[in-house]
Structure 1
């Protein structure tokens, strides 16, 4: 009988760590938020569906705070005098697998488009505490901007493209 101790305990015995989302960019209050932190914000529930190339249509019920609320809590540094400065801001959401999506501030701000883009803390009543939140973009018919297991969100102004 081999009594060697395995180098690592089996995955089932390892307590999963709480996933954290790092908020950074041109904000007053960078932070590392857990799903529990996100759940402390006002929650919204939406039913959304998108088409995944491998699995076909994916209808789900998502609950979580709006991305806009999370970003406003971080204090984006909009120019205090230029009212439309916020439309220069981009939002880059990155998942654990490296997949990322880019949104403009105008897509999430009710002054412009105001889509109810969520950071889901649960999907179909399954909590996402250990995996991390999921970006949900209702209305997108393709799932490309549905970022799973979010690890970071950066927001800030787009640089001026002068070489075009």
Structure 2
């Protein structure tokens, strides 16, 4: 199953879009060319379980991108954000789930990227990639990200 392509008048393929949805003050749609608006980070991925692979990813932190669209947690209650989950879906149907606490600098501070490039190659045509360098061999990496949903309905206080 592939991503449907959107053709422009000239026949060129339009950049893949990512829908930021859910419990957000400002839901948005982004493309890879939008991602340099945030500070860029580089992480390296090394996998030894299926033969050594080395890749470099570049893009903004997922936390920075999602913070810009206003997650709807109570800013006066520090722990309120701990009930928020982030569901990421790729064009091929692959999904990954993260907690807000995992990416929040006040808690887990994981350097999770919404990568705009891999090994100095842009991901503009296929969409950004979710990159969790702390995961063993990219278990939660999602290619061609097309939806990121933030959901705060979880936890006993929800």
CA distance in 2 between partners of 1:152 and 1:143 (Å): 19
CA distance in 2 between partners of 1:20 and 1:52 (Å): 32
Structure whose alpha-carbon radius of gyration is higher: 1
Residue matched to 2:148:
153
CA contact (8 A) 2:83 2:155 kept: no
* Structure-1-length-normalised TM-score: 0.83
CA distance in 2 between partners of 1:16 and 1:51 (Å): 35
Paired residue secondary structure (1:62): strand
Note if 1:131 corresponds to 2:112. Answer: no
CA distance in 1 between partners of 2:106 and 2:98 (Å): 15
Gaps of 5+ in 1: 1-12
- Cα deviation code 1:117-150 (max 9, x no counterpart): 0011000000011110000101211322110000
Q: 1:22 to 1:60 in 2, by over 3 A?
A: same
Count of residue pairs the alignment pairs up: 147
Report how far residue 160 of structure 1 moved. 4.5
Range with greater deviation from structure 2 (40-49 or 114-123) = 40-49
* Structure-2-length-normalised TM-score: 0.86
Residue matched to 2:113:
118
CA contact (8 A) 2:40 2:60 kept: yes
